[in-house]
Amino acid sequence: MDFTFSEDQLAFRDSISRFFMTEAAPEMLREVWETESGRSPELRAKIAEQGIGGLSVPEEFGGMGLGDVDWALLLQEIGYYALPDSLIDTVYVAAGVLSALPAGHAARAQWLPGIADGSIRVAVGHPINPWVADAQQANLLLLPHATCQGLEVHAVLPSQCTINPLKSIDTSRRLYSVEWTATPQTCIAAGAQGQKIWDMAVNRGALGSAAQLVGLAQRMVDLSVDYVAQRKQFDKVIGSFQAVQHHLANVVTKIEFAKPVLYRAFYALQHGEIDADTRVSHAKLAACDTGWFATRQSIQVHGAMGYTWEVDLQMFMKRAWVLDASWGDRGYHSARLSQSLLLDANPPLGPGSTFDRLASQGAGNDVASVNAVNSNSNSNVAEEATA
């Protein structure tokens, strides 16, 4: 498969990278963290000017109507700069949920133009994400309600909820518990349609986290390279020691192996392949492994000071830790992946036979099996919120 990105995609990635390099430097992020809301309206407005909000919004509502693959590079950049905002929940996950509603649905015309121009913030909840990011700052909350037919999609206003703040080990995350009551008036998609929309939202959220983890891993490598090029022991920079070089080279290897898995998942999601769930879970697991490995090796070469507030590494390290459990922890995605692996006595060989497509199709619609794993995921997310 050709994973070569177009010149336009690469140019857009480069322009966004230059923008974040100026507008989201570590010293600026620290200032945003210390505000009461932890968010910068000025930065959000500048991001909207770059056109990021309209990438997934259909053209009829002021967006560009691009596909999932177009997010693959951009999300890595958002991770690389540890953007202090739940931007992805609004412009990628929520935009996808609202765009998936039937043509002519009132919610599409009501909310999608605001996402495209960056004037509104949408918070998204899900059983695998019980704590809702930026719920208090949101103009709209998209929340699930479980029924015997599947998860319903509800569009709820903040005034219809009781929102309580929670703490996260990542200071840039603003998490909240949300208490609300489902009503026919708030329901915008029910039954099989609602479940299908939420299944797609889970995949988009998981891929968003996975791509950011790959970007974070690259940032931690770059910070570590800069550090070991300056830090001296025995009158020599520690970057000249072979053991240190091997630590960082191993991280780079992990990153390069995770990228094609990630890109393959974006492609599967965009083209509606029957094994998209499997591809997404594979990508999330590979990215989680890469993120954790990058944090361990970066701390190893920084020493204990890497944990301290004064060192930039801790900003990216903490974000990698929390994204590991975002939109499904390892247990959740391992369960989805195991349902699709071929474990016959005589399995077919070759890259095209790694996953059983028919099994994936059934597993992707098995609501009961997903809900069974959700209970395990909730405990991990709760640890983040109470850390």
Proportion of the chain above pLDDT 70, given as a percent? 85
Average pLDDT of span 351-364 = 53
* CA distance linking residue 162 with residue 153, whole number of Å: 18
Tell whether 86 is covered by a domain: no
Tell whether 182 is covered by a domain: no
Query: pTM, whole model, 2 decimals?
Result: 0.87
266-291 tens-digit pLDDT: 999 999 999 999 999 999 999 999 99
* Residue 352, number of CB atoms within 10 A of its CB: 8
* CA distance linking residue 379 with residue 318, whole number of Å: 18
pLDDT at 291: 95
Q: Is 376's pLDDT higher than 60?
A: no
Does residue 355 or residue 80 have the better pLDDT?
A: 80
302-316 tens-digit pLDDT: 787 887 888 889 999
In this structure, which amino acid lies at residue 382? A
Q: Is 384's pLDDT higher than 90?
A: no
When pLDDT is cut at 50, 70 and 90, the band that residue 361 belongs to is: very low
Sheet holding 175-179, edge to edge: 132-133, 175-179, 162-166
Tell whether 222 is covered by a domain: yes
Phi, psi (deg, nearest 5) at residue 162 = -110, 115
* Beta strands 187-189 and 150-156, pairing class: antiparallel
* Number of domains observed in the structure of the chain: 1
pLDDT at 346: 66
In this structure, which amino acid lies at residue 151? L
**Range with the poorest average pLDDT among 37-51, 60-74, 341-355, 363-377:** 363-377
Per the CB < 8 A criterion, the answer to whether 321 and 295 are in contact is yes
- The torsion angle over the Cα atoms of residues 70, 75, 78 and 79, rounded to 10 degrees, is -160
Tell whether 354 is covered by a domain: yes
Tell the burial category of 210 from Cβ atoms under 10 Å away from its Cβ (0-12, 13-18, 19+).
buried
Q: Is 187 helix (H, G, I), strand (E, B) or coil?
A: strand
Return left, alpha or beta for 258; rule: phi > 0 is left, psi -120 to 50 is alpha, else beta. alpha
Pair of tokens at residue 341: 């692996």
Tell whether 361 is covered by a domain: yes
Does residue 354 or residue 139 have the better pLDDT?
A: 139
Q: With CA atoms as reference, report the closest residue to 127 among 189, 210, 198.
A: 198
When pLDDT is cut at 50, 70 and 90, the band that residue 382 belongs to is: very low
Tell whether 275 is covered by a domain: yes
Pair of tokens at residue 374: 């959700």
Give residues with Cβ within 8 angstroms of 67, minimum separation 6. 270
The enclosing domain of 224 has a CATH number of 1.20.140.10
Give residues with Cβ within 8 angstroms of 349, minimum separation 6. none
Q: Is 372's pLDDT higher than 50?
A: no
Tell whether 119 is covered by a domain: no
Residue pointed to by tokens 């620290």: 30
Q: Is 328 helix (H, G, I), strand (E, B) or coil?
A: coil
Domain hosting residue 238, numbered range:
201-380
Give residues with Cβ within 8 angstroms of 114, minimum separation 6. 120, 139
Q: Is 371's pLDDT higher than 60?
A: no
Average pLDDT of span 175-185 = 94
Tell whether 177 is covered by a domain: no
